[in-house]
Amino acid sequence: MTFSDFASAHSFYIWSILILSVVLGMVVNKTNFCTMGAVSDLVNMGDKGRLRAWILSATVALIGVTILEYFKVFDLTSTLPPYRGGANQDLLYAFPWGRFVLGGILFGIGMTLGSGCGNKTLIRIGGGNIKSIFVFVIIAVIAYFMVDPFKELEANWYQTLFQPWLDEATIMMKTQSDLGSIAAGFSENGSATTMRLIIGLIVGLIALFIVFRAADFRSSFDNIFAGVAIGLIVLAAWYVTANVTIDLDGENVGIRNFVTEQWEIEMGDDVPKPKNAATNLTTTSYTFISPMGQAAGYAKEGLSKSYLSFGVLAVLGVILGSFLWSLISRSFRIEWFVSVKDFVYHAIGGVLMGFGGVLGLGCTVGQAITGVSTLALGSFLVFISIVFGSALTMKIQYYKLVYEDEATFFKAFITALVDMKLLPGGLRQLDAV
C-alpha cells in the first residue's frame, strides 16, 4: 500500500483503522463476545462456549501472523507495545514477569468488578450504558498519566510509582521473549521466523482441535463467527499499520519512518506533525487500555488531528460500531447504577483496570489475542494472570453472596483458593456450593 504523499497515506491509515474498529464493535456487540463473560460462564456454569470463542480469535490471529511474517509480508520484531521485548544498549531483552503477573491479576479483578474488560466497556458505552462511561473516564485518566502517550509530562506514573521496584522482577534475556526466538536461541543457526511458523502452526492446530471438538461450540454460529472475525480484524490491523508506505523518488518509506526521519525535509512546518509519532506510528494492533489514555490526551487537546492515533481511532470506532449495531438490533438501553455499592465496585474496577492494563502491557484483547498472535511469552503469562484474578474474584463474590455475613473476606478468599485447587481441602472455611 504505497502512496504518493503523506496526506494520502495518512488518510488511508485513519480510514482503514476506523472502519476495522467499527466492524469490530459491531461484531462484538452482535455476538456478545466478552472475555469476562467467558470466565464467568466457565466458573459459574461450566460453560466453555465463550472461552472457546476467545481462544479461537487468538488462534486465527496467531496462525495468520506466523504465516504472513514467515513470507515477509510484515515484521513484528518491533511493535507497540513491545510484545516480544525491546533490546537495551547491551543487546539484552527485558522480560518483566513481575509487571505481567501483577498487571494481569489487577486487570482480572478490575474487569470483574467493573462489569467487563476495556473492550467490553466500550461496547457497553455504544449500547447506552452510562456506568461504562464512568469506568471509561477512570481508566482513560489513569492510563494517560501512567503512559504519557504524547510525551507531555516530566515523568509518568509508571516511572515514579512502579518502575523502581518492578524492575527487580525482570529477567534479562539474550533473545526476544517470543517462543520462536527462544527456541531458535538453542541452535546456532536457528531462524526465529521459521521457529515461529513451526510453533505457531503446531499450537494453532492443537487449539483448533480443542475448540472444535465440542459439538455445542460447532453448532454456535455467534461464537464461531466472533472468533474468526475478531482474529482476522486483529490480523488486518497488523497488516495495515506495517504496510502503509510513501513513495519518495522510487523508494518506499514506511509512514512512521517518514514522519520521524523525512518530515522536516518533505513537509516543513505547513502540516502539524503527528504527536509522538516515533512511538504511536509503530506497527500495532488492537488493545484498549493505553488507547483510552490516548483518547484522554486527544480530548484534552481539543480533538487536534495531530493527536489522532491508532489507539484513539480504535476507541472511537468500537464505540461507534457498537452503537450502530445496538440501533440495528434495537438493543440500545440506558443503564445506570442500581446502588451505591454498584457505583463503588465500578469505580474500583476502573482503577484496577487502568493500572493493571498498563502494567500488563495490555488487556484481554491486547495481550490474550493480539499479544498471543506474536507468540510472546509475556502475553501467555498475562492471559493466565487475568483469568486467575477474574476467577478468584468471582468465587469470592459468590461465597459472600450465598453466605452473606458469615462469609468474611478471609473465609471466602481461602475457600476460593481451595476450590481452585491452590490450597489443600483441609483449609476450606465454607462449605462448597
Per-residue pLDDT of 274-322, as tens digits, reads 999 999 999 999 999 999 999 999 999 999 999 999 999 999 999 999 9
- Say what the pLDDT of residue 131 is: 95
Q: Pick from 149, 116, 161, 159: which is nearest to 135 by CA?
A: 116
* Residue whose entry in the numeric block shows the C-alpha cell 449500547: 127
Q: How far is CA 329 from the centre of its chain?
A: 27
Question: Are 66 and 196 in contact, with CB atoms under 8 Å apart?
Answer: yes
Residue 355 lies in a domain: yes
433 part of a folded domain: no
Mean pLDDT of the chain: 93
Q: Is 432 within the bounds of a domain?
A: no
Angle at 289 between CA 114 and CA 48, to 5 degrees: 60
Tell me the backbone φ, ψ of residue 290, rounded to 5 degrees.
Answer: -60, -40
Q: Report residue 317 as a C-alpha cell.
A: 470506532
Contacts (Cβ under 8 Å, ≥6 apart) of 384: 104
Q: Which residues make beta-bridge pairs with 376?
A: 178
CA dist 339 → 89, 131, 205, 344, 346 (Å): 53, 11, 46, 9, 11
Percent of the chain scored above 90 by pLDDT?
A: 80
Contacts of 150 (CB under 8 A, 6+ apart): 275, 276, 280, 294, 297, 301, 307
User: How many domains does the chain contain in total?
Assistant: 1
| Cβ–Cβ < 8 Å for 31, 273 | no
- Summarised one tens digit per residue, pLDDT across range 129-161 is 999 999 999 999 999 999 999 999 989 999 999
Q: N- to C-terminal Cα distance for the chain?
A: 57
Q: For residue 307, give the C-alpha cell.
A: 493527536
Total residue length of the chain: 433
List pLDDT tens digits, range 14-35. Answer: 999 999 999 999 999 999 999 8
Selection from 187, 220, 182, 230 nearest residue 62 by Cα: 230
Residue 54: which of 29, 81, 36 has the closest Cα? Answer: 36
The count of C-alpha atoms lying within 13 angstroms of the C-alpha of 325, restricted to the half-sphere facing its C-beta, is 22
Which pLDDT score is estimated for 190?
Answer: 78
Q: What are phi and psi of 155, to 5 degrees?
A: -155, 140
Look up residue 295 and give its amino acid.
A
Highest mean pLDDT: which range of 227-236, 334-343, 406-415: 227-236
Residues 103, 386: Cα–Cα separation, whole Å: 8
Mode of pairing for the β-strands spanning 2-3 and 245-248: parallel
* Inside any domain, residue 277: yes
| Omega before residue 274 within 30° of 0, cis | no
The domain in which residue 311 lies consists of 2-427
Q: Distance between alpha carbon 400 and the CA centroid of its chain, in Å? A: 30
Q: What is the pLDDT of residue 189?
A: 75
